[in-house]
Amino acid sequence: MSVADVSVSVYLVRARGRGIFFAWAAAFAALSSAAGAGRLEGFDVWLLRIVQARSSAFLDAVGSAFSVPGRAEVSVAALAVLAGVLYLRGRGGLGWRLLVALLATAVVEIVLKFVLPQAPVPQEVGRVPDPSIIDFDTPYPYPSGHMLRAVLVLGTVYLLWPNPLVRVGVVLILAGSALARIYLGTHWPSDVLGGALLGAAGLAWAFGTRGDVTDGPTSRKTGQGRESWKSR
């Protein structure tokens, strides 16, 4: 393949990545606008009642377990480890972009939780305490930081490991995490969806805006090519 062909391929991959990023970002912006205007209140109450229609101590424990991947201390540590492994595998650029995506989306999350006027879920709806080492109160709940971080971390695993069983597991855990945040009464459904969209936008930026072609998965030790650490 000629240098010109490689350049065109890189350009097309990067353009596709930017398109995916902007699509997720636009979806998040649209949902945020609707949530801030109160247009999702009826939907939120309806779905919350459905999810909490059946409750038990067992389901409380399951919900708490599914919330663990999104806890700040867990997700930050996990993403830092992934970034370190990527660096050792010769893909430090991707690792840094993932950390930048985590920081940038966290800033967006915190800002919106102070300015987007979505009422919190009533306290009496909450099922069990939701402990976290890194936690502080904000006026509003939108978007869900747990869901945002879970998507970033588990989405990274999904993209780096193309094993079908791993990917099915990731999807199931993410679905469980989303339902858990609603069932436990910590977030409205729109909060959870907003966190997922913001996380997806951050993930698309990290993997797509540079095309993830120039980094390459080459190992520093072996100099091998794309054998086990494919980005797609």
Position 93, amino acid: G
What is the pTM assigned to this prediction?
A: 0.84
Q: Give CA 222 to chain center in angstroms.
A: 32
Gap between the Cα atoms of 94 and 215, Å rounded:
7
Position 178, amino acid: A
Residue 210: band (very low, low, confident or very high) from pLDDT cuts 50, 70, 90: low
- 205 Cβ partners below 8 Å, 6+ apart? 21, 97, 101
Residues 152, 199 contacting (CB under 8 angstroms): yes
The pLDDT mean for the chain works out to 85
pLDDT of residue 179: 96
Q: What's the pLDDT tens digit per position in 1-60?
A: 554 443 444 444 566 778 899 999 999 999 999 999 999 999 999 999 999 999 999 999
Q: What's the pLDDT tens digit per position in 35-47?
A: 999 999 999 999 9
pLDDT of residue 212: 52
26-50 burial, b if ≥16 CB within 10 A, otherwise e? ebbeebbeebbeeebeeebeebbee
Residue 87: band (very low, low, confident or very high) from pLDDT cuts 50, 70, 90: very high
